[in-house]
Amino acid sequence: MAGLIVLRPGIDWTATGGLFDWTLDFLVSRLSDRRAAEHLQEIVDNNLGSFWLEDLSPESQREVVSHWRAALVAEGERDLPETDQKPDVLAHLRELVAATYRLPME
C-alpha cells in the first residue's frame, strides 16, 4: 500500500507504505505539540495511508516542515537499512524536503 503526504493541494508526495510510515514516525517524538504527534501516530497505527499537513495547526505545520528540512534525509542515511535501494529512497526523501520549499509558510 502506498502513502500520500499532501503539503498543500497540488503539492504532494507519495511513497511506499513503509517509507510513508517511517517519515511520519520520524516526526512523532520530535513534535512539541503532543496532540499533533498523536494524530500522526494514529495515521501510522491505523494504516490510514494519507497525511494532510493542513490538518495540523499552523505552528505544528511549521515545526513539521522544519524537522523535515533539518534532519529527515540525515536520519534516513543513519536509520534506513543498507540495501541496493537506499540511494533511491534517500533521493525520494530529498524530493519531499524539496517540496516543502514550495510552501508559502515563511
State the pTM of this model. 0.94
Q: Where are the chain's structural domains?
A: 2-100
What's the pLDDT at 105? 64
Rounded distance between C-alpha atoms, residue 43 and residue 48, angstroms: 5
Strands 50-52 and 2-8: parallel
- pLDDT per residue as tens, the chain (106 positions): 799 999 999 999 999 999 999 999 999 999 999 999 999 999 999 999 999 999 999 999 999 999 999 999 999 999 999 999 999 999 999 999 999 999 986 5
List all residues 6 or more positions away from 1 whose beta carbon is below 8 Å from its beta carbon: 17, 47, 49
Q: In sequence order, what are the beta bridge partners of 88?
A: none
- Per residue in 32-61, pLDDT (tens digit) is 999 999 999 999 999 999 999 999 999 999
